[in-house]
Protein backbone atom coordinates (compact mmCIF):
# COMPACT_ATOMS: atom_id res chain seq x y z
CA UNK A 1 0.00 0.00 0.00
CA UNK A 2 1.36 3.38 -1.02
CA UNK A 3 1.93 6.07 1.57
CA UNK A 4 -0.06 9.23 0.89
CA UNK A 5 1.68 12.62 0.93
CA UNK A 6 -0.21 13.42 4.14
CA UNK A 7 0.99 10.21 5.83
CA UNK A 8 4.57 10.92 4.73
CA UNK A 9 4.40 14.48 6.06
CA UNK A 10 3.00 13.26 9.38
CA UNK A 11 5.68 10.57 9.66
CA UNK A 12 8.43 13.11 8.97
CA UNK A 13 6.96 15.56 11.48
CA UNK A 14 6.72 12.91 14.19
CA UNK A 15 10.26 11.70 13.57
CA UNK A 16 11.64 15.25 13.69
CA UNK A 17 9.85 15.63 17.01
CA UNK A 18 11.49 12.39 18.17
CA UNK A 19 14.93 13.71 17.28
CA UNK A 20 14.30 17.04 19.04
CA UNK A 21 13.12 15.17 22.11
CA UNK A 22 16.24 12.98 22.08
CA UNK A 23 18.33 16.17 22.13
CA UNK A 24 16.32 17.29 25.15
CA UNK A 25 17.09 13.96 26.87
CA UNK A 26 20.80 14.36 26.15
CA UNK A 27 20.70 17.92 27.51
CA UNK A 28 18.93 16.82 30.70
CA UNK A 29 21.45 14.02 31.19
CA UNK A 30 24.28 16.55 31.05
CA UNK A 31 22.40 18.61 33.66
CA UNK A 32 22.10 15.46 35.83
CA UNK A 33 18.30 15.70 35.79
CA UNK A 34 17.80 11.94 35.59
CA UNK A 35 14.03 11.84 35.94
CA UNK A 36 13.53 14.26 33.06
CA UNK A 37 16.23 12.49 31.03
CA UNK A 38 14.26 9.26 31.17
CA UNK A 39 11.01 11.07 30.39
CA UNK A 40 12.44 12.72 27.28
CA UNK A 41 14.22 9.52 26.15
CA UNK A 42 10.97 7.58 26.36
CA UNK A 43 9.00 10.25 24.52
CA UNK A 44 11.61 10.35 21.75
CA UNK A 45 11.00 6.64 21.11
CA UNK A 46 7.25 7.13 21.48
CA UNK A 47 7.20 9.83 18.79
CA UNK A 48 9.38 7.69 16.52
CA UNK A 49 7.03 4.72 16.89
CA UNK A 50 4.11 6.98 16.01
CA UNK A 51 6.02 8.14 12.91
CA UNK A 52 6.09 4.54 11.70
CA UNK A 53 2.43 4.02 12.57
CA UNK A 54 1.56 7.06 10.42
CA UNK A 55 2.87 5.15 7.40
CA UNK A 56 0.21 2.50 8.00
CA UNK A 57 -2.50 4.99 8.98
CA UNK A 58 -2.54 3.57 12.52
CA UNK A 59 -2.41 5.14 15.97
CA UNK A 60 -3.61 4.53 19.50
CA UNK A 61 -4.82 6.79 22.27
CA UNK A 62 -2.77 4.75 24.77
CA UNK A 63 0.99 4.54 25.11
CA UNK A 64 0.78 0.76 25.52
CA UNK A 65 -1.31 0.61 22.35
CA UNK A 66 1.30 2.52 20.35
CA UNK A 67 4.04 0.19 21.60
CA UNK A 68 1.92 -2.89 20.90
CA UNK A 69 1.07 -1.78 17.35
CA UNK A 70 4.70 -0.92 16.66
CA UNK A 71 5.80 -4.30 17.98
CA UNK A 72 3.18 -6.15 15.95
CA UNK A 73 3.64 -4.33 12.65
CA UNK A 74 7.31 -3.37 12.64
CA UNK A 75 9.39 -5.40 15.10
CA UNK A 76 7.79 -8.85 14.77
CA UNK A 77 7.57 -8.50 10.99
CA UNK A 78 11.30 -7.79 10.77
CA UNK A 79 10.88 -4.30 9.31
CA UNK A 80 12.64 -2.80 12.35
CA UNK A 81 14.50 -5.79 13.83
CA UNK A 82 17.19 -3.64 15.47
CA UNK A 83 14.69 -2.26 18.00
CA UNK A 84 13.78 -4.43 20.96
CA UNK A 85 10.27 -4.43 22.36
CA UNK A 86 11.84 -5.23 25.73
CA UNK A 87 13.92 -2.03 25.50
CA UNK A 88 10.77 -0.03 24.70
CA UNK A 89 8.98 -1.60 27.67
CA UNK A 90 11.94 -0.78 29.94
CA UNK A 91 11.82 2.87 28.83
CA UNK A 92 8.06 2.95 29.43
CA UNK A 93 8.49 1.50 32.92
CA UNK A 94 11.31 3.88 33.86
CA UNK A 95 9.37 6.88 32.58
CA UNK A 96 6.30 5.78 34.51
CA UNK A 97 8.36 5.33 37.68
CA UNK A 98 9.99 8.75 37.36
CA UNK A 99 6.77 10.55 36.48
CA UNK A 100 4.30 8.92 38.85
CA UNK A 101 5.97 7.20 41.80
CA UNK A 102 6.55 9.28 44.89
CA UNK A 103 10.19 9.36 45.96
CA UNK A 104 11.35 7.62 42.78
CA UNK A 105 15.10 7.77 42.32
CA UNK A 106 16.35 7.41 38.76
CA UNK A 107 20.07 6.63 38.81
CA UNK A 108 22.66 8.11 36.49
CA UNK A 109 23.17 4.62 35.07
CA UNK A 110 19.45 4.26 34.31
CA UNK A 111 19.30 7.71 32.74
CA UNK A 112 22.44 7.17 30.65
CA UNK A 113 21.16 3.75 29.58
CA UNK A 114 17.84 5.26 28.52
CA UNK A 115 19.61 7.83 26.35
CA UNK A 116 21.89 5.19 24.85
CA UNK A 117 18.95 2.89 24.06
CA UNK A 118 17.06 5.79 22.51
CA UNK A 119 20.04 6.88 20.40
CA UNK A 120 20.40 3.33 19.07
CA UNK A 121 16.70 2.95 18.36
CA UNK A 122 16.40 6.28 16.58
CA UNK A 123 19.53 5.62 14.55
CA UNK A 124 18.06 2.35 13.25
CA UNK A 125 14.59 3.79 12.78
CA UNK A 126 15.85 6.89 10.93
CA UNK A 127 17.43 4.81 8.18
CA UNK A 128 14.44 2.52 7.78
CA UNK A 129 11.95 5.39 7.74
CA UNK A 130 14.01 7.31 5.18
CA UNK A 131 14.27 4.23 3.00
CA UNK A 132 10.54 3.58 3.15
CA UNK A 133 9.74 7.19 2.30
CA UNK A 134 12.31 7.22 -0.54
CA UNK A 135 10.92 3.95 -1.94
CA UNK A 136 7.42 5.40 -1.79
CA UNK A 137 8.54 8.53 -3.67
CA UNK A 138 10.10 6.38 -6.41
CA UNK A 139 6.86 4.40 -6.79
CA UNK A 140 4.63 7.48 -6.75
Q: In the prediction, which pLDDT does 136 show?
A: 79
The answer to whether 90 and 103 are in contact (CB under 8 A) is no
Q: What is the C-alpha separation between 23 and 30, in angstroms, rounded?
A: 11
Q: What is the distance, to the nearest Å, from the Cα of residue 7 to the centroid of all Cα atoms in its chain? A: 17
Q: What is the mean pLDDT of residues 97-123?
A: 97
Q: What is the C-alpha separation between 140 and 6, in angstroms, rounded?
A: 13
Ordered by start, the domain boundaries in the chain are 5-139
Cβ-Cβ contacts under 8 Å for 47 (sequence gap 6 or more): 14, 15, 17, 18, 21
Q: What is the C-alpha separation between 65 and 104, in angstroms, rounded?
A: 25
List, for residues 43-86, the tens digit of each pLDDT value: 999 999 999 999 999 999 999 999 999 999 999 999 999 999 99
Top-level class of domain 5-139? mainly alpha
Amino acid sequence: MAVTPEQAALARHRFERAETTLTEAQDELSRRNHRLTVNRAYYAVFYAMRAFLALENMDSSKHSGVASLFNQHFIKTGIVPEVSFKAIQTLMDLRHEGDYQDFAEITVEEAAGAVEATESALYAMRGILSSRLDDNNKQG
